[in-house]
A = this chain, B = another copy of it.
Amino acid sequence: MRTISVFQQVSVDGYFTTKDGDSSWTHGGADDDEYNKFVEGNAKGGGALLFGRKTYEMMASFWPTPEAAKQFPVVAKQMNAMPKIVFSKTLERATWANTTLVKDDPATTVRALKREAGPPITIMGSGTIISQLARADLVDEYQLVVIPLVLGAGRSMFAGNDRRANLTLSTSRSFANGKVYLVYTCAKAS
């Protein structure tokens, strides 16, 4: 069975983007060896990536560029090589290498994917998709990087979930740059 992990950088007040969808505040630290090694290690996981349209378009406009190859050589290579799924009813083509465009309902599609054998699937950004999958009890794990910044307002990937969910902390690690990595696993749906 394939597992579904969410990897998300969040502010101290819990937002993954500003209200306007800006996530540029999660960048920086490209000169931080300790954190870079962590990100590169994550990217070597060998899994597949899953996105909503907005996050996909943002990622697809960056990772295949010479700028990305220069700034993040290891991660760019991995991001371009990994199998990718994008959910969109409006996109006509998905041209970033190794992408499958899916027009069906995310929850139905992911429920079917989870029954198959295969590498783990990681969702990045894509708050709308995450909310839908979380409501359907399809998320196995949240990998959060808490950025030492308060936004004051923004988008929460848990917005619209109308019930509480107990999580289990499985990993915590802090970095010299002030970021904190927290991994929570979700209770199995009965």
A residues within 8 Å of B by Cβ?
10-15, 25, 134, 142, 144, 146, 148-153, 156, 158-169, 172, 174, 178-180, 182, 184
Contact = CB atoms under 8 A, between A and B. Distances in A.
Contacts of A149: 164-167
Copies in the complex: 2
Contacts of A163: 152
Contact of A161 (B10, B152, B158): B152
A167 to B, nearest CB: 4
B148 A152 contact: no
B178 A150 contact: no
B174 A150 contact: no
A165 B150 contact: yes
